[in-house]
Amino acid sequence: MILTDSELDLDEIDQDTQIKVAEEAEPIELILPDSICGDRLDKVLSKLVPQYSRGRIQQWIEEGHVLVDGKPSKIKTTMLGDERITIIPQAAAEDNAYTAEDIPLNIIYEDDAIIVLNKPAGLVVHPAAGNWSGTLLNGLLFHRPLLAAVPRAGIVHRLDKDTSGLMVVAKTLTAQTELVRQLQARTVKREYAAMVWGTPNASGTVDAAMARHSRDRLKMSVSHSVLAKPAITHFQRISTGMLERFPVSLVGCQLETGRTHQIRVHMLSLGFPLVGDTLYGKQHLARFFPRQALQARKLGLIHPVSNLPVEWSIPLEADFMDLLERAGMAQL
């Protein structure tokens, strides 16, 4: 079911986080004391209204939301004392991160406790720096407003922006708590299809802890650091093919843990980066696929209300099917 009108790493989810609605702030009126004579405007205001960062104050000054004696001013304007300052606080992008947005969602299954959906490639799951709107969370709040009462709008795990596939969302706090428990106990079954460069062994297991990359904060890496967290991926080679003169393989991956970028990092650690993965893979081969060739195809769990095992599966996305055809591979 596709709704078109009126739809993480587990350890990074804060279960106490509630959906917050930004409120418009009242204008702030100040009369500057004589003691500030000689100081620049932004420096003065960062001291007098410490609840706002200096960078934010500078932005408001540049945009004309700070008036000095009724007129816009500049960041470096020297204050002499006794000026009347009016600050009109503006909401930052992150202040509106939990706003409902009409974003179409492909819902596979829904009942009173859970939603299972097929996330498209290109959709960010949760608001964060650089993506404060247009996320799955925003779409969930629009199509299911009651999710505003559930931490993170019921989201209990994530998929990377350019990874497509199945996700489960909890509709109640009780369901969310139970799903998180299952994820922590590693009883949730998550199977992925991935296309990698090269020909890995017929099957195997990567048991390699992961942590944030020491030099590139956008990346994760296999690590022996005390900060590294356990990460286990089972894989099986399904078929092989060629993209032009380069060998590729279709691999099925099953996760025991759910670390950020886990499959991408683990396959890279074996020497088989994902096709289309420009962050970890071969930049010069990005022309073959516009995203990492990775899809969450199967999801299994114990229903948080019925306590019965349930499972869902979906076919490969059209772009992934086309990639298989170009590589001369048998389809899943």
In order along its 332 residues, the chain shows pLDDT tens digits of: 333 322 234 333 333 333 343 445 689 999 999 888 899 999 999 999 988 888 889 999 999 999 999 999 999 999 999 999 999 988 766 666 788 999 999 999 999 999 999 999 999 998 877 778 899 999 999 999 999 999 999 999 999 999 999 999 999 999 999 999 999 999 999 999 999 999 999 999 999 999 999 888 889 999 999 999 999 999 999 999 999 999 999 999 999 999 999 999 999 999 999 999 999 987 788 889 999 999 999 999 999 999 999 999 999 999 999 999 999 986 55
Report the CATH architecture of 186-332.
Answer: 2-Layer Sandwich (3.30)
Query: What are the sequence ranges of the domains in the chain?
Result: 1-22+95-171, 28-90, 186-332
Note if 160 is an active site residue.
yes
Both structure tokens of 298:
């199967």
Report the CATH architecture of 28-90.
Answer: Roll (3.10)
* Catalytic annotation, pick one of 42, 160, 162, 277: 160
What string of DSSP letters covers 300-322?
A: EEE-TTT--EEEEE-PPPHHHHH
Determine contact, residues 88/63, Cβ cutoff 8 Å: no
What string of DSSP letters covers 120-183?
A: PTT--SS-BTTBSSSSHHHHHHHH-GGGGGSGGGGB-----TT-EEEEEEESSHHHHHHHHHHH
Q: Do domains 1-22+95-171 and 28-90 have the same CATH topology?
A: no
The helix/strand/coil state of 35 is helix
User: For the domain 1-22+95-171, what is the CATH code?
Assistant: 3.30.2350.10
Q: What is the distance between the alpha carbons of residues 266 and 274, in angstroms, rounded to a whole number?
A: 10
Q: What is the distance between the alpha carbons of residues 313 and 300, in angstroms, rounded to a whole number?
A: 9
Selection from 242, 297, 295, 230 nearest residue 266 by Cα: 230
Residue 110: CB atoms within 10 A of its CB come to 16
- The Cα-based distances of 38 to 44, 49, 66, 79, 299 in angstroms read 10, 18, 18, 6, 64
Q: What is the distance between the alpha carbons of residues 132 and 273, in angstroms, rounded to a whole number?
A: 29
Selection from 41, 37, 28 nearest residue 75 by Cα: 41
pTM beyond 0.85: no
